[in-house]
Structure 1
Amino acid sequence: MRARVLALCALALALAAPVQAERVVAGLSQEAIAITTNFAGSEILVYGAVQRAAPPPGAEPLEVIVTVQGPSQPVTVRRKERRFGIWVNADASRIDAAPSFYAVSTTAPLAQALSQTEDLRHRITLDQAIRAVGTGRSDQPMFNAALIRIRGEDGTYQVNEGAVRFREQTLFDTAVRLPANLTEGDYLTRIILTRGGAVVDLHEQLIPVRKVGLERLIYNLAHERPLIYGILSLVIAIAAGWMASAVFRYMRG
């Protein structure tokens, strides 16, 4: 009897709660990514629709932001200076956590689609995704910018403004390119609806990225049985050298 009363109370509270005017329903073209010996990168298609319980509020347009974030790791950024004609490491700063991969795709420029307050709350832009806590450095933004520039050049950091296609303020889709040098782990995909710079709804989904086949075998062997891995590497190197020498002698003879 008591359980029935509690269930009825919960139902009454749910019915009394305000219905969310707009929410996102989204999907991904891939549920998981396998890294094999011939892995050359991949592409994820993010698609979805906007569900509405009422007409769109106000005149502000609805925007969509899609982010894909790889596992975060500490990283040290070094600044080089030219001294006596030689480039040397002059200074360094350690960043506590930087995503191994990060892509941001939007329907409009980020400054238009997202307010600074919401960016601080949800950590959407690259500047917010990189965490350098307690460094006490006044020039820390310079090191963060250097990391973003370096990883932007190799494709592991991406900002694709206008890459999300929005059709009739209801359907949207975009493609996110993943490079070949992916770090193994869970990749967090977020689809964010904003209006007037404020976040209206947010949908999250994890994409596992794992090594498979020979890649997995070698990785596990190197990390779990380093002695055996070292011995096998030495044996293979010796065998390869012996075979090369035998082939060379045969060609000469």
Structure 2
Amino acid sequence: MMRALILLLALAGPVCANEAIVTGLSQNRVQITANFDGSEILIYGAVKRDAPAPQGAPLAVIITVEGPSTPLIIRRKERVAGIWLNRSSVTVDAAPSFYAVATSAPLERILSGTEDLRHHITIPQVIRAVGISDEAENAPDFVAALERIRLDENRYRIAENTVQLVEETLFRTDVALPANLTEGNYKVRLFILRGGVVLDTQERLIGVRKAGLERFLFNLAHQQPLLYGVISLVMAAVAGWAASAAFRFVRS
């Protein structure tokens, strides 16, 4: 009986490794101050296995960083009688204020379309625009224009081959966050894949908050708008008086 069991296990072939992610961030909090000019986040991790790595399709890693999403109205301007006018528009349910994709290899080689639809990894998949075809002709062109503009503004990024993967076990990458960050929670997602299929995923958060004077003014403007308006008027009046006094002093 024991010999038969050993023979059966041998015929079954090697045990497939159960691969999972263990990850970390260099920081999970970013403070926006008066002299804030951006930040760089180190994202690193390792692949944990309960058996040797399987042979065949190589391991791949994809890392995404997604800022807070907001609804948008995208308008198309057309020239009418020599004047540019907004002629048509579509409403996007949600579009990330910032989105970066970093990979260990070209996306088209490591990610299947099915897995992209399931996990919403590429930029077109994270822009949620349901039912826009009823709002305007060639509605997908509006979303493509949004993607193109934000890529040009460096608010959306595709960084292929920037994840360093060592011995199909250790990986790391650096993601630069711009100076014009939107306050909120930034979602970091990490994926390991083989043959275009996602084996495991993990999610972390980076909190981005205003600090110091910027935080005080932000809270004042939203919590006590009347007081904020009065203070703004007083400061403007004082600045105008000071400029006038300085001008009179210089002339004298």
TM-score after normalising by structure 1: 0.89
Residue 99 of structure 1 aligns to which amino acid in structure 2?
Answer: P
Q: Output aligned runs, 1:1-253, within 5 Å.
A: 21-137=18-134, 139-253=138-252
Moved over 4 A (4+): none
Between the two proteins, what is the percent identity of the paired residues? 57
CA distance in 2, matches of 1:89, 1:127: 24
- For structure 1, which segment, 214-223 or 51-60, has the greater mean C-alpha deviation from structure 2 after superposition? 51-60
Deviation of 1:83 after TM superposition, in Å, equals: 3.0
CA RMSD of the aligned region, Å?
Answer: 1.5
Residue 54 of structure 1 aligns to which amino acid in structure 2?
Answer: A
SS in 1 for 2:130: coil
1:14 match: none
Cα deviation 1:149-171 (Å, max 9, x = unaligned): 11111111111111111112111
Q: Structure 1: 5+ residue runs without aligned partners? A: 1-17
CA distance in 1, matches of 2:80, 2:165: 52
Deviation of 1:115 after TM superposition, in Å, equals: 0.8
CA distance in 1, matches of 2:42, 2:112: 26
TM-score after normalising by structure 2: 0.90
- For structure 1, which segment, 193-202 or 140-149, has the greater mean C-alpha deviation from structure 2 after superposition? 140-149
- For structure 1, which segment, 53-62 or 19-28, has the greater mean C-alpha deviation from structure 2 after superposition? 19-28
Q: Structure 2: 5+ residue runs without aligned partners? A: 1-14
Residue 154 of structure 2 aligns to which amino acid in structure 1?
Answer: G
Pairs aligned (count): 236
Cα deviation 1:91-129 (Å, max 9, x = unaligned): 111100101111000011111111111111111111110
CA distance in 2, matches of 1:130, 1:140: 13
